[in-house]
Amino acid sequence: MRTVLQQADLERALTRIAHEILEANRGADDLVLLGIPTRGVALAERLARIVSRIAGVDVPAGALDVTMYRDDLGRNPVRATHPTEVPGDGIDGRVVVLVDDVLYSGRTIRAALDALADLGRARAVRLAVLVDRGHREFPIRADYVGKNLPSSTRERINVHLAEVDGDDAVTIEGGDE
Partner 1 sequence: MRHLLSTRDLSRDDAIALLDVAEDMAAVQEREVKKLPTLRGRTVVNLFFEDSTRTRISFEAAAKRLSADVINFSAKGSSVSKGESLKDTAQTLQAMGADGVVIRHPSSGAPFTLATSGWIDAGVVNAGDGTHEHPTQALLDAFTMRRRLHGAASRGRDLDGVRVVVVGDILHSRVARSNVWLLETLGAEVTLVAPPTLVPVDVSGWPAVIEYDLDRALAAGPDVVMMLRIQAERMQGAFFPNSREYARTWGLDDHRFAQLPETTMVMHPGPMNRGLEIAARAADSMQSTVREQVANGVSVRMAALYLLLSGERGETP
Please report, as ranges, the residues that interact with partner 1 according to CB under 8 A.
Answer: 65, 68-69, 73-84, 114, 118-120
Residue with Cβ nearer partner 1 (87 or 120): 120
Minimum Å distance from CB 78 to partner 1? 4
**How far apart are the C-alpha atoms of 36 and 46, rounded to whole Å?**
13
**How far apart are the C-alpha atoms of 114 and 51, rounded to whole Å?**
26
Residue with Cβ nearer partner 1 (79 or 123): 79
Minimum Å distance from CB 14 to partner 1? 28
**How far apart are the C-alpha atoms of 139 and 72, rounded to whole Å?**
18
Residue with Cβ nearer partner 1 (55 or 164): 164
Minimum Å distance from CB 9 to partner 1? 33
Minimum Å distance from CB 105 to partner 1? 18
Element (H, E) at 11: helix 7-25
Residue with Cβ nearer partner 1 (18 or 63): 63
**How far apart are the C-alpha atoms of 67 and 114, rounded to whole Å?**
11
**How far apart are the C-alpha atoms of 59 and 82, rounded to whole Å?**
22
